[in-house]
Amino acid sequence: MKTYLVTPDPRLDLVLEREVDVPVEKVWKAWTTPDHVKHWFVPRPWSVTHCEIDLRPGGVFSTTMRSPEGEEFPNTGCYLDIVPNERLIWTDTLLPGFRPAPKPFFTAALLLAPTRTGTRYTAHAIHGDEATRKQHEDMGFYHGWGTVLDQLVEFIKAN
């Protein structure tokens, strides 16, 4: 069963949906524990050098991604909505404390639902305009988010 907070708009949104063979609780923990996020959040050979999570509405979600060449890309936003083991919504449109961000890009909704064999995993990237959605897709949204989902499952099974 698909449950969206906002009906995806193909002009503005990107959606990755898959069923994975790991429990919802472990997916949630991997998404909400900074030391776990560092192991799977970016496609290898990229890495995460910093992760800060304050898991509450208005709390920080911050990562720094490092390219194979050593260049670092900080990303900071805040959580909007948190329902343990079910829904995690964050944005880079707002900074911690709901302060406006200088360069908003997208809002993300992670939706989790238990299945007989694991978790129904839905990642919904919501953009403010068609150009930003296209930019995110051209950056490799489907391949990148699919790869990190595979890495998340691999990490969960190894730990």
Q: What is the model's pLDDT at position 7?
A: 84
Domains of the chain with bracketed CATH: 13-158 (3.30.530.20)
The single-letter DSSP state of residue 129 is S
d(CA 128, CA 143): 22
Averaged pLDDT in 10-residue chunks for the chain of 159 residues? 70 97 98 98 97 98 98 97 97 96 94 97 96 96 97 97
Please tell me the pTM assigned to this model. 0.94
Q: Where are the alpha helices (DSSP H) in 3-111?
A: 24-32, 34-40
d(CA 59, CA 157): 29
The amino acid at 38:
K
Angle at 64 between CA 85 and CA 91, to 5 degrees: 50
Find the radius of gyration of the CA atoms of the chain.
Answer: 15
Q: For residue 20, give the 3-state DSSP assignment.
A: strand
Q: What is the model's pLDDT at position 1?
A: 43
